[in-house]
Amino acid sequence: MNKHQGKAAGFIKAFLWIYCSFIVFILGYITYNSLRPKSQILSNTFGKPTGLSFDNYKKLIIDDKFFRYFGNSAIILIASLVLLILLSSLTAYGIARYKFKMKKFVRIFFLIGLMFPVQLGIVPIFLIMSKLGLINNMASVILISGTNVSMPVFMLSNFFAGLPKEMQEAAQIDGAGEWTIFQKIMMPLAKPVVMAVCITVSVQIWNQFFIPLIFIQSDKLKTIPLLVTKYTNNLMSSINLALAISVLSTIPILIIFIFFSNKIIDGVMAGAVKG
């Protein structure tokens, strides 16, 4: 079925090769430039490479404490994920495996958040957080990212609903309590879906900009994307650091992605087909 696709298809394929190669090229270009001193990048952009070194990285990691920002991003990511998976798997299981009066309403209730990006309610959330004393505290970012459960609840409840009823009944006959069934039998089965959720959500949480921008002011608590803007806001004085941080925060993730790309893309697809 692959042959005889005509000239147009050939043209598009050629274009795709160029486009995709360009993406790889630009990543290489950034990596290359991140090894050059600032003066070279700005005044001799396309000239011969001289004085390649890891100085920019040294400055970023030692002087500007890159790993503190990395740590903040990691804490927010992990805590948000734990909260999100805990809440959404419990909720999804409750919705999918039990019969009760308001079931339909509860399903739609949890779908609502899918439609409304967090910006819309940010002022009231800001007021809640300031009442709780969580402004300029990572907990506020974690609470917001970890309670945005619509998508995970949707994916997980579809999964749980598809499991045969007999499993639950058999375990009940064996004397297992509700909690044991959930924890020992259902959750292990849901691992692939949980993984798919984690992957899609992690990217969003790791790269999120708006929420940390509003809730975190002190440098000690800032995340990587906020640090990036500090450099990119003034390229004349810190383009070298902007390059170094772009490489350091992007290339490792892309390498992980390339290794697991089929799995990750299948996960995204699974979420999409159901959505």
Partner 1 sequence: MNWIKKRPYLLFLTPGIILYSIFVIYPIFAAANISLYKWNGIGKRVFVGINNYIELFTNQDLFNQMTNALKNSFLIFALTVIFVIPIQIIMAYIIYSKARGKSFFQAAIFSPQFIATPIIVFIFTLIFDGNIGLFNKLLEVAGFGHLAKPWLGIPKMGIYIVWGMISWAGVGVGMIYFLGAMKMIAFEEMESAYLEGAGFWKRLFYIVLPNIKMTALNLVLISYIIGMTIFDYSYILGGISGGIKGSVDVMSLFFYRMAFGDSNPLGGVISDNSIGMGTTIACVLFFMVFIVSMVQILIVYRKEEE
Please, which of residues 55-84 interact with partner 1 by CB under 8 A? none
Binding residue for partner 1, selected from 52, 78, 189, 265, defined by CB under 8 A: 265
In the range 230-249, which residues lie near partner 1 by CB under 8 A? 232, 235, 242, 245-246, 249
Under a CB-based contact definition with an 8 Å cutoff, are residues 139 and 73 in contact? no
What are 220's two structure tokens? 């000690």
Does 189 participate in binding partner 1 (rule CB under 8 A)?
no
DSSP H stretches of helix in the chain? 6-33, 38-43, 55-58, 66-97, 103-115, 122-131, 138-146, 150-162, 165-173, 178-180, 187-189, 191-207, 210-215, 224-232, 235-259, 261-274
Binding residue for partner 1, selected from 74, 135, 167, 203, defined by CB under 8 A: 203
Binding residue for partner 1, selected from 183, 229, 234, 237, defined by CB under 8 A: 229
Does 197 participate in binding partner 1 (rule CB under 8 A)?
no
Stretch that binds partner 1, among 1-9, 47-55, 56-64, 187-195 (CB under 8 A): 1-9
Cα–Cα distance between 27 and 56 in angstroms, integer?
A: 17
Stretch that binds partner 1, among 51-59, 61-69, 94-102, 187-195 (CB under 8 A): 94-102
Q: Please provide the size of the chain in residues.
A: 275
User: Residue 86 CB: number of other CB atoms within 10 A?
Assistant: 12
Shortest distance, position 20 Cβ to partner 1, whole Å: 4
Binding residue for partner 1, selected from 52, 111, 170, 189, defined by CB under 8 A: 111
Stretch that binds partner 1, among 51-59, 60-68, 189-197, 208-216 (CB under 8 A): 208-216
Shortest distance, position 113 Cβ to partner 1, whole Å: 4
What are the CB-based long-range contacts (under 8 Å, 24+) for 258-267? 264/199, 266/196, 267/195, 267/196, 267/199, 267/200
H/E element, 29: helix 6-33
Binding residue for partner 1, selected from 49, 51, 71, 275, defined by CB under 8 A: 275
Does 112 participate in binding partner 1 (rule CB under 8 A)?
yes
- Residue 81 makes CB contacts below 8 A (sequence gap 6+) with 146, 198, 201, 202, 205
What are 49's two structure tokens? 């490479």
Site string for partner 1, 119-148 (x = CB under 8 A): xxxxxxx-xx--------------xx--xx
Cα–Cα distance between 244 and 241 in angstroms, integer?
A: 5
Does 20 participate in binding partner 1 (rule CB under 8 A)?
yes
Does 85 participate in binding partner 1 (rule CB under 8 A)?
no
Binding-site size, partner 1 (CB under 8 A): 98
Q: Measuring CA to CA, how many Å separate 121 from each of 77, 128, 169?
A: 22, 11, 42
In the range 153-172, which residues lie near partner 1 by CB under 8 A? 153
Binding residue for partner 1, selected from 16, 52, 78, 82, defined by CB under 8 A: 16
